[in-house]
Every structure is written in structure tokens, then in C-alpha cells.
Chain A
Amino acid sequence: MLNVGKIEEGFVLDHIKAGQSLSIYHHLQLDKMDHTVAIIKNAKSEKMGKKDILKVECNIEELNLDVLAVIDKNITVNVIKDGEIVSKKELTLPKEIKHIFKCKNPRCITSIEQELPHIFFLADEKEGVYRCRYCEEKFDKRRLVQ
């Protein structure tokens, strides 16, 4: 059994589908930040069989977790302060996602104008459908697990 130490302040993202942690690491843009991060893959889980866990040591105000709701609403977000879980953050679909996903539609204006921000808006809250702000092409969620 692998042991990873406690964190003082930050988030523990639990119940991540096995194999998705690295993709989440990138979507949260943790690769561009200096936070201490532990990625635990294929941990044993009674509920899921296998799961991934991400531990991020950071100021809890600093990290925007909105995108998690788009990836998987079932991820548990434990908020840690002074080494203890102080709350569980509820995940809600953000109205807009900026600078995280790129529009892949080759006919979209963003395909030729590199400086434009890539923005997706929540077009259907019930179904969790996002569309590109420019070309309105539907965001393909299968890309999230790639």
C-alpha cells in the first residue's frame, strides 16, 4: 500500500475514474503552476474497484476547479485547511469555459486567428452541452479522456 502524506491546505480530488487523473492534471493547468501535486493512479476503491486521486497543495482561493464538473460531476472535491477536510465542494457546470479547451472545428475562425481566446458556453444545462462561442460547434466530451 502506497502512502502519500497529508497536505496542509488545498484539495483532494477523490473518486476520479481510473486513468483520468493525468488528463485532469492538465485540464486544471497544474502543469503550468508550482503547486505540490500527488497523482495516485489505480488506488483500490470499494465503490469503483479502481480509482485515481489527486492531491494538490495550494491556497484554496487560487485554484479554479470549475472544469471538473464538465469532466465528471462524480468527482469528490475535499477542501483541506490546517491538514483537515473542512468541506466538500459541490461541482456545478460553469456558464463559460475560457482558455482550457480548444475548438477543433477546422472551419472555426479560431483555427486561423491564433490570438483569439478559446471560449465555450453552456448551451444546454440539462444535458451539459457546451458550444464554441464563435462557431457554436458542440464540444465533444470524448476529448476529455484523451
Chain B
Amino acid sequence: MITERGGILDKTRVRPIRHLMNPLDFTVDELEKLFDLAGDIEREPAKYAKVCEGKKLATCFYEPSTRTRLSFEAAMLNLGGEVLGFSEASSSSAAKGESVSDTIRVISCYADICAMRHPKEGAAYVAASKSLIPVINAGDGGHQHPTQTLTDLLTIRSLRGSLSGFTIGLCGDLKFGRTVHSLINALTRYSDVRFIFISPEELKVPDYITDMLDEKGIGYEEVISLEDVIDKLDILYMTRVQRERFFNEEDYVRLKDFYILTKDKLDKAKSDMMVLHPLPRVNEISVEIDDDPRAAYFKQAQYGVYVRMALILTLLGMEPV
């Protein structure tokens, strides 16, 4: 995927434009810098409150995604910038038949950076290839959602202090869940990370993921019962079984309640285990554990704002004065 278009300079004609399409677009070193910046933002938000004054973020959302859009908007507003955009295709020129390429060319005249969500895979890539401003892929169908992965990585790094040396259990829909696939891919770049995949037979992690782990010599286990392995985990990443992924309602109903994380189950876990979830949850995490110190999913949402702030600053090349 493209990340940099060496030949084309940004609107200020100072440096090449950089986009974010895929979580692996950044090297491990670049991610370290991004996460250090996010950490600094967390510690001293006031320092960054006006860094993006006069800058505009366009949120081009061709399908509704309140959480992702609001976190981008909150990130830009926290940096002192402004936001404009649309939150569904029907309120954009797409409804009149305008192509993504044309839309981004126009948006390039209005804003300094763009976050794009589109139901079709590769839409953000099309935008990036025609854009004169940095484009962030805010989700393109079931393909990539890089800022969710960056959020997950920052949360783990901030709460554990490192992205190495732990056992992570990924639980629920491991077949269709793109956040899970992206996170596994991203974590394979760090040392001593062990994976335990917890899913019903029908929702097992795809072969291409296990083949990739085998090829890299990274250890993993595949199990059905969460209770059997919960005591081994340093991180438990829960996912939602999504209705729209199933062709028949019967399978969905049968599998949707397969895993529910309750207080009883959590009692068997390590005292410092971290529970993550990309949200929104339905019923896979019981509300009774929301106040448990191990429940980190709302902190994760907060880290989502910090990492997007760091990302906007990085892609715009902005620094605090």
C-alpha cells in the first residue's frame, strides 16, 4: 500500500505527503515515536491545545460510524484545529454519483488532512492516490482499520509499559474480525508475544494467519474454552460476534452468546490481566466487571483519541511551539 508519494508535495510544498492506509505502514521505530508523542499528549494536553490552530480535518464518512468519527473530531478539536465533513454517503456528493477520486480532489482544496470511512475495500487507497493532503483510512469495509490497531497497540504499551513479552488471548469472532487480524499482524513485529485464539470451531482464525505465524515461528494455541486458558493470559482481547457477517440468522443466534465474560470467569484470571475490546460491546462483557481494575476497554477509547492526535500531528508535520 502506498504511504508516501515522493513526487507530489503537500499544499505547503515543503515535504512529501504521507498517508495511513494499513497499520503496518509505519515501521516499529516510527510507531515508537508516534506512541511517545501520544504519551506526551496524555501527560501534557495543554501543550498541544493550539498546535493545529488554523488547520482543518475533513471527516469523509460514507457510512455511519459515530465512535470513529467522533474520536477523530475530538482529536482535532483537542489540538485546536477545526473539523468539517459528512457522516453518511447520502449527505455527500456520492449520492449524486461523484467518485471518491473527485471528492478527495475537492476536499484537498477545503481541508489540510482527511479521515475517510467507506464501505468499499480500497476506497481510502483510491483517495490517497489522488489526494493533495494526507489521508487516514478510518475503515474501508472489512479490509483495514489502522487507527483501531494503533489504539490497541498504544493501550497495551501504555498500560503494560511494553509491546513485548506477554500472552494475549483473542476471544470471540476470530474469523471475520478485521481488528483481530490487524492486531495479530502488528504484534508479530514484537518479540516474545504468544497468542491464544479462543473461538468456536465456526469462527476460528483464518488459515492465512496461522500459516503466517508458523512461518515466523511464533507460538500460538487454538482453544474453544475461555475458562481453560484465562489464567495464562496477560491480555484478553474480547470481540463481538457481528450479525451482519452471517448468512443465516440461526448460526448468529447460536454463536452470539458463546462467550460472555463474567465476574466468575474473571476471578480465575491473573490480578493484572488487562481486558480489551474494540467496542461497541453488546453482551460479550458483562457490565458487572466494568469497575474491575482489569477492565481497560474504556481507557482504550481514551487512548484512541491520543493516538489519533499523535497521528494528525505526525502526518501534518506539526510540533508544539
A residues neighboring B (CB under 8 Å): 105, 107-113, 115-116, 132-137
Instruction: Scan B113-147; emit 1 where CB is below 8 A from any A CB, else 0.
Output: 00000111111011000000000000011110000
Instruction: Indicate the member of A109, A110, A111 with the most B CB atoms within 10 Å.
Output: A109
Q: If A107-B141, A107-B142 touch, does A112 touch B122 (CB 8 Å cutoff)?
A: no
List chain A residues, Cβ under 8 A from B125: 109, 133-134
Are the CB atoms of A135 and B121 closer together than 8 Å? yes
Number of B residues whose C-beta is below 8 Å from A? 16
A110 vs B142: C-alpha distance when bound (angstroms): 15
Are the CB atoms of A135 and B99 closer together than 8 Å? no
Are the CB atoms of B141 and A113 closer together than 8 Å? no
List chain B residues, Cβ under 8 A from A136: 1, 121-122, 143
Closest 5 CB pairs of A and B: A134-B122, A135-B121, A109-B120, A109-B122, A135-B122
Q: If A113-B100, A135-B143, A136-B143 touch, does A108 touch B126 (CB 8 Å cutoff)?
A: no
Are the CB atoms of A109 and B142 closer together than 8 Å? no
Are the CB atoms of A107 and B120 closer together than 8 Å? yes
Instruction: Scan B83-125; emit 1 where CB is below 8 A from any A CB, else 0.
Output: 0000000000000000111000000000000000011111101
A70 vs B142: C-alpha distance when bound (angstroms): 28
Please pick, from A105, A111, A116, A137, the residue contacting B126 in the complex, using a CB distance under 8 A.
Answer: A116
8 contacts between A and B (CB under 8 A): A107-B121, A108-B121, A109-B122, A109-B125, A113-B101, A116-B126, A132-B122, A135-B122
- Minimum CB–CB distance from B183 to chain A (whole Å) comes to 17
A110 vs B120: C-alpha distance when bound (angstroms): 9
Are the CB atoms of B99 and A113 closer together than 8 Å? yes
A23 vs B320: C-alpha distance when bound (angstroms): 60
List chain A residues, Cβ under 8 A from B100: 109, 113
- Minimum CB–CB distance from B102 to chain A (whole Å) comes to 10
Q: Quick one: closest A residue to B142, CB to CB? A: A107
Please pick, from B1, B99, B101, B120, the residue contacting A108 in the complex, using a CB distance under 8 A.
Answer: B120
A109 vs B122: C-alpha distance when bound (angstroms): 6
Are the CB atoms of B121 and A113 closer together than 8 Å? no
A132 vs B99: C-alpha distance when bound (angstroms): 19
Please pick, from B101, B121, B123, the residue contacting A105 in the complex, using a CB distance under 8 A.
Answer: B121
Q: If A116-B126, A133-B125, A134-B126 touch, does A111 touch B120 (CB 8 Å cutoff)?
A: yes
Please pick, from B99, B119, B121, B142, the residue contacting A134 in the complex, using a CB distance under 8 A.
Answer: B121
List chain A residues, Cβ under 8 A from B120: 107-109, 111-112, 135
- Minimum CB–CB distance from A106 to chain B (whole Å) comes to 9
7 more A-B residue pairs beyond the given contacts A107-B143, A111-B120, with a C-beta to C-beta distance below 8 A: A105-B121, A107-B120, A109-B118, A109-B122, A113-B100, A136-B1, A136-B122
Q: Quick one: closest A residue to B123, CB to CB? A: A109
